[in-house]
Structure 1
Amino acid sequence: MRVPPALNVHRHDTGSRALITLTGEIDLNSAPLVHASLARCLYDGIRAIDVDVTAVTFCGHNSLNAFLCALLHTAAAGGSLQLHHPSPALERLVALTGSGSLFVTLPDAHAGYRSPTQAFPLPQAAPWLAPALPALPGGVL
């Protein structure tokens, strides 16, 4: 019997901003962990959430649902949620669902990896000022 790879969640806070680094597969079983981790940020007063998905090896519709739910709750709380370094599969999923313009994003892993210490903290961004961009292959969401 195959044991699915675990999903690891690491959180690093700086003030009212958090970097969530996800490693492994986000599937039906692990999507609730993603949802709970992002919801916990809001509960703790975090209003700017950066999610590094560089090391996510599988990302199905359940993961997109968890990200979209977190995005809605974060926006309702006056915050922002950004997905960083999406894989081509995640870009494709976002493009197919038409949800790319909802996320404030940075270049994906193909544009060059930055370690969390280089990428964090990021400048504050007002989500309503960010251009609405569709998903682009090998580009940004």
Structure 2
Amino acid sequence: MPLPPLNIYRHDRRTRALITLVGEIDLETVPPMRTTLERCLREGMRTIDVDLTPVTFCDCSGLSAFIDAFLRTAAAGGTLCLHHPPPMLAWMIELTGADFLLLGPSAVPGPGSRPAVPLATAPDPLPTGFEMSHRLVAALPAVAGGVL
């Protein structure tokens, strides 16, 4: 049975981009996601918000791609933040200690404390009005099986 495609939507406002991913993120669907994130940097986006609300699955190749994108964005003087990761990805982020990198400063508990709610259910909110101000447009076409 073929995997559902990963649909990627991008909305820009000045030097800020909102990337919405829809579907499954795995070894075969990471390349178009990586391409979109790299294109954001090449085009001058320095704040990249990634909405993962409609993502149904993300494996370690997706986590690796997000960490790589974070490092590239930080090296360019920007920020990358994941919003609403699916439970498995939130667990992998917390397990690897990457939550302070990928989920933003408000997701990091203070010294000696633990968050009352798991990170998967308490992500940073998306910027108010940002995602609603313009219609999202597909950054890359979806292809059956998730491969271009």
Q: Which has the higher contact order (CA 8 A, sep 6+)?
A: 2
What is the distance in 2 between the residues matched to 1:18 and 1:41? 7
Hey, which bits of structure 1, 4+ residues long, moved more than 4 A?
A: 106-109, 116-119
Measure how far apart 1:100 and its partner are: 1.1
Q: What is the correspondence of 1:97-136 to structure 2 with a 5 Å cutoff?
A: 97-105=96-104, 110-111=121-122, 118-120=128-130
Aligned residues: 119
Are residues 1:44 and 2:54 paired? no
Could you list the runs of 5+ residues in structure 1 that have no partner in the other structure?
Answer: 122-141
Specify the code of the residue in structure 1 equivalent to 2:22. T
What SS is found at the alignment partner of 1:94? Answer: helix
What is the distance in 1 between the residues matched to 2:48 and 2:70? 9
Gap change, CA 1:59 and 1:16, over 3 Å in 2: same
Q: Deviations over 1:32-79 (max 9, x none)?
A: 111111000000010000000000101000000110110000000000
Q: Which residue number corresponds to residue 112 of structure 2?
A: none
What is the distance in 1 between the residues matched to 2:29 and 2:71? 20
Alignment check: 8 A CA contact 1:54 1:109 kept:
no
Specify the code of the residue in structure 2 equivalent to 1:36. T
TM score, norm. by length of structure 1: 0.75
Measure how far apart 1:120 and its partner are: 1.5
Gap change, CA 1:86 and 1:4, over 3 Å in 2: same
Gap change, CA 1:110 and 1:104, over 3 Å in 2: closer
Q: Deviations over 1:59-104 (max 9, x none)?
A: 0000001101100000000000010111221110111212111124
Considering only CA atoms, is the larger Rg found in Structure 1 or Structure 2? 2
Specify the code of the residue in structure 2 equivalent to 1:40. R
Aligned-residue RMSD, C-alpha: 2.4
Q: Which residue number corresponds to residue 82 of structure 2?
A: 83
- Identity over aligned pairs, percent: 49
Q: Which residue number corresponds to residue 34 of structure 2?
A: 35
Measure how far apart 1:118 and its partner are: 4.5
Q: Which residue number corresponds to residue 114 of structure 2?
A: none
What is the distance in 1 between the residues matched to 2:122 and 2:129? 13
What SS is found at the alignment partner of 1:29? Answer: coil
Alignment check: 8 A CA contact 1:10 1:22 kept:
yes
Specify the code of the residue in structure 1 equivalent to 2:130. F
Specify the code of the residue in structure 2 equivalent to 1:93. M
Q: What is the correspondence of 1:2-81 to structure 2 with a 5 Å cutoff?
A: 2-81=1-80
TM score, norm. by length of structure 2: 0.72
